[in-house]
């Protein structure tokens, strides 16, 4: 599962920024025109995620995974041969569809099937590899581009995706341990008093609040990519801006690793509220902005917004609706998250264009984070509410 997340998000998405300026300059394209293929990638991934549970029921899992990986590898290798905007956009759609099949929805469904105990730890370990691989391979691809060319770098990326996904294809295992007549890890620890919302009707209010939560935290996380621009708007150096982005990525990795562990001991509601508090503090520090130490601390804490979307969202969904309804509900959270992230880049940029400041954008994010607190508090009460339903 670590390999699937590393390939579908860590390599395919989190290293994409390395290519923007180089490819655009090489082919005499607008940077925004080339980068638009990743917007298409994100939107197609979001739509695909909605249908993943149905596809997993109708098609053999290993066969579906193999086809998806081959499409992702071929689509990425095809980027090396493309030269027109429409070609990149078409390949972006193909890659988005393929990686959407073996991304967060599939991975978390498998983890939920195989792990009852330490579910939070396992989820956070797997999803942390999106940040780890992004941070590791971005400079590697940059060096390859500098030493050779961007076309060869895309071919190397395709090979890396294949290598990362091979274990999930080759190692024998089933989608659900019951298919192997085995029990999930920690099943003996499951008590008769455990609430199983999956056997009950899906609560519309809880569903809508979690959709809002996923969209808002994904929107918030997009501000991390604007940290270099924010530093520039405050007349700080380009080097500091790059360092702020790196700190945000470190916060991304650390938060994903920690929040799952914390949730196993404190519960996912308290763990999520703790992470939201860190993000609210980050917004305040970024708004103050002086001295530089506040920006540094704020950037690191702000990176934890990725942990909210990647780890807290699936765990909250599992808590609210149970494993039985997870496949019906989490794809909606995934769609909302991808949608929130895809529009945030443009909206945050437009806010700066019209106001000449990132402060209004950060204030909007601060309000969104406060709103997510209400969603989480309701989810915390939701299992108690459904116990009272006859």
228-249 confidence digits (pLDDT tens): 778 888 888 767 777 787 788 8
Question: The domain 197-387 belongs to what CATH superfamily?
Answer: MFS general substrate transporter like domains (1.20.1250.20)
Q: What is the DSSP string of 260-308?
A: HHHHHHH-HHHHHHHHHHHHHHHHHHHHH--SHHHHHHHHHHHTTHHHI
Contacts of 337 (CB under 8 A, 6+ apart): 46, 214, 215, 217, 218, 309, 313
Q: Please give the residue that has the higher pLDDT: either 117 or 76.
A: 76
Contact 347/215 with Cβ under 8 angstroms? no
Phi then psi dihedrals of residue 118, to 5 deg: 60, 30
Mean pLDDT for 315-328 is 85
The domain ranges of the chain are 2-189, 197-387
Classify domain 2-189 by CATH number.
Answer: 1.20.1250.20
Residue 385 has pLDDT above 50, yes or no: no
Query: What's the pLDDT tens digit per position in 132-170?
Result: 888 788 888 888 988 999 999 999 999 999 999 999 999
Phi then psi dihedrals of residue 29, to 5 deg: -110, 155
**In whole numbers, what is the pLDDT of the chain averaged over residues?**
85
Predicted confidence band at 324 (pLDDT cuts at 50, 70, 90)? confident
Contact 83/228 with Cβ under 8 angstroms? no
Residue 389 has pLDDT above 60, yes or no: no
Place of tokens 């274990």: 167
Mean pLDDT for 248-271 is 86
How far apart CA 166 and CA 4 sit, in angstroms, is 9
Give the relative orientation of helices 150-170 and 17-27 as an angle to the nearest 10 degrees. Answer: 140
Q: Please give the residue that has the higher pLDDT: either 140 or 35.
A: 140
The predicted model scores a pTM of: 0.78
Place of tokens 């390949």: 91
Structure tokens at 91: 């390949």
Predicted confidence at residue 387, as pLDDT, reads 42
Query: What's the pLDDT tens digit per position in 43-102?
Result: 898 899 889 988 988 899 999 999 999 999 999 999 999 999 999 999 999 999 999 999
Listed residue (6, 14, 46) closest to 126, CA to CA: 6
Contacts of 204 (CB under 8 A, 6+ apart): none
Predicted confidence at residue 216, as pLDDT, reads 93
Place of tokens 């090396």: 80
Question: Is 197-387 in the same CATH topology as 2-189?
Answer: yes
């Amino acid at each position: 599962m670590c390999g699937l997340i590393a390939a579908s998000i860590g390599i395919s998405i989190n290293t994409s920024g390395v290519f923007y300026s180089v490819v655009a300059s090489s082919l005499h394209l607008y940077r925004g025109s080339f980068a638009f293929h990743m917007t298409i990638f994100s939107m197609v991934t979001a739509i695909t995620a909605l249908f993943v549970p149905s596809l997993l029921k109708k098609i053999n899992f290993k066969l579906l995974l193999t086809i998806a990986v081959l499409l992702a590898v071929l689509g990425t290798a095809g980027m090396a041969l493309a030269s027109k905007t429409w070609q990149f956009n078409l390949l972006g759609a193909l890659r988005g569809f393929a990686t959407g099949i073996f991304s967060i929805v599939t991975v978390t469904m498998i983890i939920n099937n195989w792990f009852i105990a330490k579910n939070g730890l396992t989820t956070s370990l797997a999803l942390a590899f999106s940040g780890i691989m992004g941070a590791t391979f971005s400079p590697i691809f940059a060096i390859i581009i500098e030493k050779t060319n961007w076309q060869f770098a895309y071919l190397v990326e395709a090979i890396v995706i294949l290598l990362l996904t091979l274990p999930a294809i080759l190692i024998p295992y089933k989608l659900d341990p019951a298919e192997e007549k085995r029990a999930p890890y920690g099943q003996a620890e499951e008590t008769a008093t455990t609430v199983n919302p999956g056997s009950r009707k899906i609560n519309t209010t809880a569903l809508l609040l979690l959709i809002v939560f996923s969209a808002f935290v994904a929107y918030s996380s997009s501000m991390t990519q604007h940290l270099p621009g924010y530093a520039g708007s405050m007349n700080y150096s380009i080097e500091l801006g790059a360092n702020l982005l790196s700190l945000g990525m470190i916060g991304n990795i650390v938060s994903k690793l920690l929040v799952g562990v914390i949730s196993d001991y404190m519960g996912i509601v308290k763990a999520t509220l703790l992470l939201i508090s860190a993000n609210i503090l980050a917004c305040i520090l970024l708004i103050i902005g002086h001295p530089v130490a506040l920006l540094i601390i704020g950037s690191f804490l702000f990176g934890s917004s990725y942990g909210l979307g990647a780890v807290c969202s699936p765990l909250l969904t599992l808590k609210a609706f149970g494993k039985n309804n997870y496949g019906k509900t989490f794809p909606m959270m995934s769609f909302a998250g991808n949608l929130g992230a895809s529009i945030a880049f443009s909206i945050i940029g437009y806010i700066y264009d019209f106001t000449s400041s990132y402060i209004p954008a950060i204030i909007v994010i601060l309000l969104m984070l406060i709103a997510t607190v209400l969603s989480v508090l309701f989810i915390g009460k939701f299992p108690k509410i459904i116990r009272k339903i006859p």
